[in-house]
Amino acid sequence: MGRYLWEILGKYTKTVVWGTGVFYTRYGELLARQFAYFVDNDEQKWGRFLDGKEICPPEKLAEEDDKNTLVIVCNHYFEEISNQIKQYGKFSLIDIVTMGLLHGKERNVTEQKPMKADRLVAVYGGIHAMWQTNGSRRFIEGQLSQLHRANFHTIEVIPLLFYRKGERDSVYLALSADGCYYGIFSVYEFVEMYPKVRGFIIHSPYYSHDMAKVLLDSIVVEKSILYYIHDFSCICFYRFLHKNQEMCIDENGKFCCSSCSEKYRHRKRVDFYRALFEKYEVLLAAPSADTKKKAGQFYQNVRIIELPHLEYETEKFRKSVNSRIKIAYIGAASWQKGWEPYVRLVERFHQKYDFYCMGDCPEHLRIQNVTYVSVGLYGFQGMTSMTEALTAYDIDIAYIGSLCAETYNYTYYEAYEAGCFIITNTKSGNVCAQVKQNGNGLVFSDEDEMTCWLETENVGRDIQNMGKKIKNVRDSGKFLSYLE
């Protein structure tokens, strides 16, 4: 039987919490105020108290014994914060989201069962991809189901504490086998239990790049090692290719690494992955030709395979366009997904079109003249799915205005299945590529070009000319051929 999280964290004599914002508000009750003080970068908060604990500057950590102090990070930018903490010592770190997800899993721990190595596939990834309700988890769940239907067993491997190179005993792994949670184990225990596996699949390591190498150095993989390009973390630590609302890639698809102020960190990341991919003959799995092309700029000697994550059929379809055309922003409202240009479209065209937002939109981002519709990721917790919502509201146009290069993007396929005409831009990666390939929408070079089109009387005609939609959308099992 594995450990519980409190057994691991209990060895520290002092705990400090970094961050006093929304993540602490959301998850702070897990801590039961059993920590010494807060640390925060906002100097306006220093000296104040929150829940009876003082908020201190980061320099306070320099006074602590780093071997016996745990820092719990309550901040979305875990990797950036962890690099800052290194200035003050080699502290053990864990992020608050990890604690929350483990808290839920530990309510139902299952006894281990023996599994034969010749039918065992290890699926490795960061906890945010493996357990949070998001697009990555949706993909992973579909892949696990495909593996089980093909009579493979799976061991899900999730590194927990921030890994410090050369200190393997500071890292623990949360394990689930065939969907049943086993508990927390050391790296040594994992290798002893599973010295050999049939295949090794890597999804979104997030902060645990080094740990993937440690495991591959320690176990035997009989068949293929697949690395799925969910994001571009194998190319840049800014994994969505934007920094401070500036893109890391230009209009022609060329990376701007040479002019980046952190190009040496970037180069170190690429060198690490290039050595890993080449040593273990890792197959990089790209969902589209667009993603494959971007990765290929950095890994010329690595095999990159185009492996779409979904399969579907097409059918003839003629859209019955509403007299007052309906346009829906789909997905979470955020800068990188193109919310700000959409707001400007609403302000300019709300008297001509009806506008919707289908996805999560915080109150502070909401504007007038938009109908907000809650949707759930593939019907999560009984909520209406995106395709169902688009169909129910009879949406004519789906706006997918991502300003970053998308890799896997479920909203595109959900909108296509609902028979929506899709408008996007040249920066949207796989969305742009799929719209061009399938002819089910328009790709605009910039916001002005999109605005000009919406001002014309050709919009309804262009929607009707789409001519087809997709059906029977399902997870693809093509990856299984690399494990047989």
CATH 3.40.50.2000 domain span(s) along the chain: 313-474
For position 166, what pLDDT does the model report? 44
CATH 3.40.50.11930 domain span(s) along the chain: 105-311
Structure confidence by residue, pLDDT tens digits, 110-135? 888 778 888 999 999 988 888 887 88
Residue type, 144: L
CATH 3.40.50.720 domain span(s) along the chain: 5-96
For position 484, what pLDDT does the model report? 87
For position 163, what pLDDT does the model report? 52
For position 382, what pLDDT does the model report? 63
Residues of the chain with pLDDT under 70: 1, 161-170, 251-252, 377-382
Level-2 CATH architecture, domain 5-96 = 3-Layer(aba) Sandwich (3.40)
DSSP 193-231: H-SEESEEEEE--TT-HHHHHHHHHHSEESS-EEEE-SS
The length of the chain in residues reads 484
Tokens of 341: 């240009």
Residue with tokens 């893109």: 247
Structure confidence by residue, pLDDT tens digits, 338-370? 999 999 999 999 999 999 999 989 999 999 999
Residue 335 makes CB contacts below 8 A (sequence gap 6+) with 245, 403
pTM: 0.89
User: Are 318 and 467 a contacting pair, CB within 8 Å?
Assistant: yes
- Kindly report the CATH class assigned to 105-311: alpha beta
Level-2 CATH architecture, domain 313-474 = 3-Layer(aba) Sandwich (3.40)
